[in-house]
Amino acid sequence: MPKVSEAHLEARRRHILDAAFACFARKGFHPTTMHDICAEAGVSAGALYRYFSSKEEMIAASCQLSQDHNLARLRESIDGVDTRQMVRRLADAFLSQFDGPEARVANRAALQLWAEMAVNPDVRQLMSDNLARITAGLANVVRAAQARGDWNPDLDPEAVARVMIAIHDGFVQQKAFDPAIDTASYVKAAVAIFNDTLWNPGALSRAASAAEPNAEPDAQRGKPRDAGGRGSAPKHVPRGRAPATS
């Protein structure tokens, strides 16, 4: 009997995973049976159990694949580019893949898994581990931008990473509810937030001026100051008398 290649086995395994998540998206995690997954994948029960012994094992495998894929995209996005280009690449890599039938299935399946995570400790642990690794990877990206002097060094890198993840996960939820949401516009807005182009430059200047506690009104700038450092004021004139002129 000819030996089956590793590539063939991995492709078969991935095919079964895709079928499982299509079932999760359509029926939910608990209502989906192993028989449903066999029917969706077009394989026998024996073939399925050769790769996975349970639905939880499928989730574990999916988390590992997702983690590997995301970390690879992360490395590609930050390789040899400045911070602004990096933000654009990250947005394209993680936010631009939400259209089409496969994306709609993935988005609905994600909602099912988040719901399952709330009541299933095993699933919660798997997804928490996956989240921790992605958070750590993004936090390193933030630290690199801070070291270049591009991002505020006072911000906690892990907190910034969690904001990035929230932008991604929030979009997953919105696209699951409404697939017609314009992805390109969302990506553009996300990039603007991190690259400061959300603000109008004139508004930024006004905001900066307003934030200075000792800032003087424009009309007071350049006026001579008295001995106490205060802007000069007109001398007191008794009521009813005009100021003396010379």
CATH superfamily to which 58-195 belongs: Tetracycline Repressor, domain 2 (1.10.357.10)
Q: In the predicted model, what is the mean pLDDT of the chain?
A: 80
pLDDT digits (tens, 9 = 90+) for 91-119: 988 888 888 888 888 888 888 888 888 88
The predicted pLDDT at position 116 comes to 81
Please give the pLDDT value at position 123. Answer: 81
The predicted structure's pLDDT at residue 214: 59
* Section 182-188 average pLDDT: 93
Task: Kindly state the average pLDDT of the residues 26-43.
Answer: 89
Give the 3-state DSSP-derived string for the chain, with helices as H, strands as E and coil as C: CCCCCHHHHHHHHHHHHHHHHHHHHHHCCCCCCHHHHHHHHCCCHHHHHHHCCCHHHHHHHHHHHHHHHHHHHHHHHHCCCCHHHHHHHHHHHHHCCCCCHHHHHHHHHHHHHHHHHCCCHHHHHHHHHHHHHHHHHHHHHHHHHHHCCCCCCCCCHHHHHHHHHHHHHHHHHHHHHCCCCCHHHHHHHHHHHHCCCCCCHHHHHHHHHHHCCCCCCHHHCCCCECCCCCECCCCCCCCCCCCCCC
Q: What percent of the chain has pLDDT over 90?
A: 21
Q: Give residue 4's pLDDT.
A: 67
User: For residue 235, what pLDDT band results from cuts at 50, 70 and 90?
Assistant: very low
Quick one: pLDDT band at residue 202, thresholds 50, 70, 90? low
Mean pLDDT of 57-80: 79
Decide if pLDDT at 246 tops 80: no
